Amino acid sequence: MHGINACACTCPAASPRTTLGPSRHYAPGHAYAHFAGCDSSRAFVTGPDDGKGLTDDLSGLSDAELGSVAGWHEFFVTHENYTRVGRVSGRYYDTEGGALELFPWERLQAAERRAEQLKSEYPACNSRWTQATGSEVWCTAKSGGVSRDWVGVPRLLAAEGTAQKERCACVQLERSQQPGLQVQLRPYPGCDLEAERCKVVKSK
């Protein structure tokens, strides 16, 4: 494609297709030139460093990373400055435009259902920070936007698949004491195990 205001670029592998977009972004030498004329879906979440992300191979990406690719797909589908003009042949489509492999929408939908289930089982805590008192978290019968007939105690809930990310979750006291959940649910350091409100102590 040629033109002052348009160039060939691709949407993510969720529906890889050639589109017309602003050349100031996708033309040679510009920030998104690596997306022009090929399916570089992985680069939407990993970046184009050393060329490793310039591929349509999404294997090994986490649910969150796949969700990011899907988010870019939604962006291109709905943005008024991008018009569909064809599909990119490769991993997902053959030269006739026939589908070869499907983006893992079912996996993402299952992950979303699991996230909603966790939100219901372990509602988020209320939180507040002031210069005078620092950070604190606490639970109520409506914290996290989940109305319930119990209040719960604050615990650090480990994100699935990683030990590095945690969030504050309100947990029924009896459930927080179950041996099988001790790894997933960590008490706040220095906070009474039955307290509904905890100070957040910074790790040294």
- From the CB of residue 68, how many other CB atoms can be counted at a distance below 10 Å? 16
Model's pTM, two decimal places? 0.59
Do 26 and 85 belong together in one domain?
A: yes
Residue 147 belongs to a domain: yes
Q: For position 56, what pLDDT does the model report?
A: 86
Residue matched to tokens 């719960």: 152
Name residues whose C-beta falls within 8 Å of residue 63's C-beta, 6 or more positions apart in sequence.
107, 108, 111
Long-range pairs for 39-46: beta carbons < 8 A, 24 or more residues apart: 39/10, 39/12, 39/13, 39/88, 39/90, 39/91, 39/92, 40/10, 41/10, 41/12, 41/13, 41/14, 41/16, 41/69, 44/12, 44/68, 44/69, 44/72, 45/69
Q: For position 18, what pLDDT does the model report?
A: 53
For the chain, how many structural domains are there in total?
Answer: 2
Q: For position 19, what pLDDT does the model report?
A: 57
Residue 84 belongs to a domain: yes
Residue 116 belongs to a domain: no
Query: CA distances (Å), 102 to each of 16, 22, 72, in order?
Result: 11, 28, 16
Residue 178 belongs to a domain: yes
- The domain boundary, picked from 84, 110, 136, lies at 110
Range of the domain at 47: 7-110
- The domain boundary, picked from 110, 134, 152, lies at 110
Do 81 and 132 belong together in one domain?
A: no
Do 134 and 168 belong together in one domain?
A: yes
Q: For position 17, what pLDDT does the model report?
A: 54
Do 105 and 187 belong together in one domain?
A: no
Do 141 and 86 belong together in one domain?
A: no
Q: For position 163, what pLDDT does the model report?
A: 47
Residue 134 belongs to a domain: yes
Q: For position 136, what pLDDT does the model report?
A: 96
* Regions in the chain scoring below 50 on pLDDT: 1-8, 162-163
Residue 50 belongs to a domain: yes
